Amino acid sequence: MTTRWFGAPVQRVEDDRLLRGRGRFTDDIGEGALECCFVRSPHAHARITSIDVNEARAMPGVAAVYTAADLPFGGLDLPLLIPHPNLTHGRTQRCLASEIVRYAGEAVAFIVAESRYLAEDAADLVQVEYEPLPVVITPEAAARAEHLVHDDVPGNVAAEMVQEVGDVDEALAEAPHRKRLRYRYERGAASPMEGRAVWARWSDADRKLTVYDSTQSPTSIRGGLAVLFGLPESNVEVIAPDVGGGFGPKIMLFYPDELLVPYGAMQLGRPVKWTEDRQEHFTAVNQERGQVHEVEVGFDDEGRVLALDDDFIHDGGAYTPYGIILPIITAAQVPGPYRIANYRVRFRDLYTNATPTSPYRGAGRPHACFVMERTLDAIASELGIDRIEVRRRNLIKQDQFPYDVGVAWQDGNAVVYDSGDYPALLERAVAMLGPKPNGDNIGMGIGVYVEGTGVGPYEGAHVQVLVSGKVVAATGIPSQGQAHATVWAQVVADELGVDVKDVEITSGDTRRFPWGVGTFASRGAVTAGNAMHVAARMVAGKAKQIAADHLEANPADLELAGGRVRVKGSPDRGIPLAAVAVLSNPMRYAFGGGTEAATQFASKARPGPPLHEGEQPGLEATGYYSPPGSTWASGCHAAYVRVDPKTFRLEILKYVVVHDCGRVINPLVLQGQIEGGVAQGIGGAFYERLAYDSDGQLRNASFMEFLIPYATEIPPIEIDHIETPSPLNPLGVKGAGEAGVIPVGAVIGSAIADALGVPVAEMPLSPLKLYELATSRP
């Protein structure tokens, strides 16, 4: 196999239409559809005493107003997506609340009208009376349990889980040094530039439901809608068209609109569309990252960690639709790239009166990394050892792979690192960072991390060579900007020996590929990428078989290159792939495009029936890839920052990244993923804070006050790669989507602490927070 495309910085094939303004985002389609708007709870916790929608229903231009009482599924709890034995008190919301609301922004009524303008007018006419209830807003308050979010959940505890490797109590007792530390990480918001949107059409004649959804998982949406509406899955089509960023929250399902928009379309016999506005996105779309960790670490005189005991609480929000995946990931990822023989982790997933949580890029890992890296800094400080040296002494060595951490992973398997070279990452980053610049108030921060990527259960792909010689391929997982159409084309083009421009990819359209899971957890390259590889290889094998008959050659002597199947060593002896595609389908009727070559009097006689037993027509194949376990990517980030001692303005002087995601499919795309991830991490570390008040109101639900960095806040980022291929999959790849973001909080926190000499044990920071830390110093 030639590897002409794999590894090359191929420019993206999806750019042209996006640059011309011809992208197809959900709100761009469906002209003439009815438009919708929600009535949402203004209270974080309240009993609904009455809902009056009569005036809204009577308003001209209003097609329907739905409350829970109007829905056949109004009394159903929405699905709990990932049940777990430790999730003893899982709770999910109903599509529309009718009795209790448990977060500000929870949906209460849904209005369908001729336009969004009219729907919003009608929303103003809906009268909902509430009786406010006590609010639980921080994880600490949830743990105190003076008030309950759910009456029937004692202590606000949705789940509790304890895992232990080695004997932590004994190791702590024998450790020469012990230290207790407390870390606090606040909620963040992914804030993709496109909010969520859903468009649906019901065809009564075909009994077919078509849904466009700005989702990370159209195949799962399809499955759920089929169950809810009692339709065969083949009668439900779900398409994630162009999706304007996801970063996690769009993997959550079902948001109420994902049921209400299709339901409305079925009831009203007209296409229905709902497009979120930015303000409702802030409260109605899942968030993540709120955790408080109580850590005790035991270490020796050289700074080697002997035992780590971490007891943390996780802010689950008002409901647990996504199960306890986030704290499970945190628990698994705290040890990171370090050898910790004795490790105990206990978590409690707690209910609060805030928007539910589910993964946001990094998903449990930035907080885990922050805990471990700040703890290593504390050890270095206690012993007077250089921070880099402490890391050197604790890193897992290259000859220790596969490395079993001894705790459970999010897929139920054990955490076993497949490959990596952590010392090389560290040394490369230190070399790239170089000497500290001269000047006052300059600090250095460094962090090493691992990332479990490419979780299962599986993805699949369909690859077909058309009679034109062009190739079409499809997979179930959608793109939110990750360049699927380019990188899958590279994988397929290599196997089929064609130009990457001759491969057209469809992703996230159940009409083209109905099976699969979704785009999340840095899994696309590993799962769908390898499925593309598997399917394309099957097509290549079939092409060789057919060409071998035609060329009277042995299939093993053939290769695919230059758009032809040809005899190795005799490139002139071959047949175009287009002709092979024609021959793959024995025909009675030619339909143009050269297909006459496959008709009964034109094709060469082959003994037996035209289609041999076991053969299928068409030069196509469907392949699947199901990973045996996660692939573990890794990296090291380091930075120099300067903090103004008066204004506490942050200036990032230098930021370096050394990253290892196994074999790199497209370095241009990878660079973009890393740069974007770091920028998101910087936002989360210093600018973006969700300011909930004690009543559970989000006080800064706009981009004017929730400060996503502009270009002016993001420094140039220097990136280098090492490649330790994963032994677990044919392509040797690992995921890269979340890598950029994971250690940024730890690195920036460490650098700021170094610059100012203040203790940093929380995220996010801000000028105000630094002022408080600096002025409260003893």
CB 99, min distance to other proteins, A: 32
Closer residue to other proteins, CB minimum distance, 481 or 563: 481
- Residue among 230, 232, 222 at smallest CA distance from 254: 222
Contacts (Cβ under 8 Å, ≥6 apart) of 558: 544, 547, 548, 551, 565, 566, 567, 568, 574
* Smallest distance, other proteins to C-beta of residue 765, A: 19
Shortest reach from residue 23's CB to other proteins, in Å: 5
Q: In what order do the strands lie in the sheet with 650-660?
A: 442-453, 631-643, 650-660, 718-721
| CB closer to other proteins, 9 vs 269 | 9
List interacting residues with other proteins (CB under 8 A). 11-12, 14-16, 18-23, 25, 27-28, 31, 117, 190-195, 242-245, 247, 277-278, 480-483, 668-669, 671-672, 675-680, 702-704, 708, 710-712, 714, 716-717, 740
Q: Give 495 or 738: the residue with its C-beta nearer to other proteins.
A: 738
What residue type is 717 in one-letter code? I
The C-alpha atoms of residue 382 and residue 301 are separated, in whole angstroms, by: 10
**Least distance from other proteins to the Cβ atom of residue 657, Å:** 11
CB 117, min distance to other proteins, A? 7
**Which of residues 590 and 708 has its CB atom nearest to other proteins in the complex?**
708
Least gap, CB of 755 to other proteins (angstroms): 23
Query: H-type helices in 312-359, by residue range?
Result: 325-333
Q: Which helix (H) or strand (E) holds 208?
A: strand 208-213
- The nearer residue to other proteins, 243 or 371, going by C-beta atoms, is 243
**Alpha-carbon span 490 to 298, nearest angstrom:** 49
The 8-class DSSP code of residue 12 comes to: P
Q: Which is nearer to other proteins, 265 or 678 (CB)?
A: 678
CB closer to other proteins out of 316 and 737 = 737
Instruction: List CB contacts of 751: < 8 A, sequence separation 6 or more.
Output: 443, 444, 445, 639, 640, 641
Output the furthest CA–CA distance in the chain (Å, rounded): 95
If the CB atoms of residues 168 and 664 are measured against other proteins, the closer one turns out to be: 664
Distances (CA, A) of 507 to 216, 514, 570, 654: 11, 10, 37, 37
Strand partners, 643: 650
Alpha helices in 552-641 (DSSP H): 577-583
9 versus 593: smaller Cβ distance to other proteins: 9
**Smallest distance, other proteins to C-beta of residue 342, A:** 39
Compare residues 117 and 402 and give the one whose CB is closer to other proteins: 117
The Cα 550–Cα 672 span in angstroms is: 45
Q: Cα dihedral sign for 638, 724, 739, 392?
A: negative
Instruction: Tell me the closest approach of the beta carbon of residue 118 to other proteins, in angstroms.
Output: 10
Ramachandran area for residue 83 (φ above 0: left; ψ -120 to 50: alpha; else beta): beta
CA–CA gap between residue 39 and residue 120 (Å, rounded) = 9
Cα radius of gyration (the chain): 28
Pick from 153, 87, 140: nearest CA to 291:
140
Output 14 or 557, the one with its CB closest to other proteins.
14
* Angle, CA 444 vertex, CA 440 and CA 449 arms, to 5°: 165
Shortest Cβ 364–other proteins spacing (Å)? 20
Query: What's the closest the beta carbon of residue 9 comes to other proteins, in angstroms?
Result: 8
Nearer to other proteins among residue 58 and residue 193 (C-beta): 193
Q: Among residues 601 and 710, whose Cβ is nearest to other proteins?
A: 710
Nearer to other proteins, 115 or 570 (CB): 115
Is 421 in contact with 722 (CB distance < 8 Å)?
A: yes
Q: Which lies closer to other proteins via its Cβ, residue 193 or residue 602?
A: 193
Q: CB of residue 21 vs other proteins: minimum separation in angstroms?
A: 2
Query: Minimum distance from CB of 459 to other proteins (Å)?
Result: 20
Between the two ends of the chain, the Cα-to-Cα distance in Å is: 66
Residue 521's beta-bridge partner residues? none
For residue 126, give the nearest of 53, 37, 70 by alpha carbon.
53
Q: What is the DSSP string of 113-134?
A: ESSHHHHHHHHTT-EEEEEE--
Q: How far is CA 727 from CA 205, 323, 460, 560, in A?
A: 51, 30, 20, 26
CB distance 113 to 61 below 8 Å: yes
Whether 562 and 574 have beta carbons less than 8 Å apart is answered as: no
Helices (H) and strands (E) in the chain, counts: 18, 29
Strand partners, 577: none
Amino acid in position 133: L
Task: In angstroms, give the least distance from the CB of 653 to other proteins.
Answer: 16
- Find the shortest distance in angstroms from Cβ 13 to other proteins: 10
Question: What is the nearest approach in angstroms of other proteins to the Cβ of residue 320?
Answer: 26
Nearer to other proteins, 411 or 675 (CB): 675
Q: CA-to-CA distance for 314 and 322, rounded, in angstroms? A: 13
CA distance 500 to 485: 10
Smallest gap, in angstroms, from Cβ of residue 27 to other proteins?
8
Q: What is the token pair recorded at 477?
A: 């997982």
